[in-house]
């Protein structure tokens, strides 16, 4: 299941996101979206978790959780 993680702090790094989701299950891919012109984070990422129940658990537990001073949003990527 591919998840969209929004409202990330611009200082949040990809390994932090991966570690956050790995607590809830296997993460096969984590991609922090970067602005090509500036090289800075755009404030959102995609996380892929192969086990649907683990992904749903991560989504339920991490949605609206405060990370890096911001309340993140987690939902199924469309």
The residues spanned by each domain of the chain are 2-76
Q: Find out whether 32 and 12 touch, Cβ atoms under 8 Å.
A: yes
What is the predicted pLDDT for the residue at 74?
98
pTM, two decimals, is 0.94
What is the predicted pLDDT for the residue at 5?
98
Q: At the topology level of CATH, where does 2-76 sit?
A: Alpha-Beta Plaits (3.30.70)
**Residue pointed to by tokens 């984070």:** 41
Q: What confidence tens digit (pLDDT) does each residue in 24-71 have?
A: 999 999 999 999 999 999 999 999 999 999 999 999 999 999 998 999
Q: Find out whether 41 and 10 touch, Cβ atoms under 8 Å.
A: yes
**Residue pointed to by tokens 């611009």:** 10
- How sure is the predictor about 11, in pLDDT bands with cuts at 50, 70 and 90? very high
What is the predicted pLDDT for the residue at 71?
97
What is the predicted pLDDT for the residue at 47?
98
């Amino acid at each position: 299941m591919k998840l969209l993680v929004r409202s990330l702090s611009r200082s949040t790094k990809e390994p932090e996101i991966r570690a956050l989701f790995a607590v809830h299950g296997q993460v096969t891919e984590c991609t922090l979206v970067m602005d090509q012109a500036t090289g800075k984070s755009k404030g959102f990422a995609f996380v892929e978790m192969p086990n649907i129940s683990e992904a749903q658990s991560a989504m339920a537990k991490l949605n609206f959780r405060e990370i890096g001073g911001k309340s993140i949003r987690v939902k199924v990527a469309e």
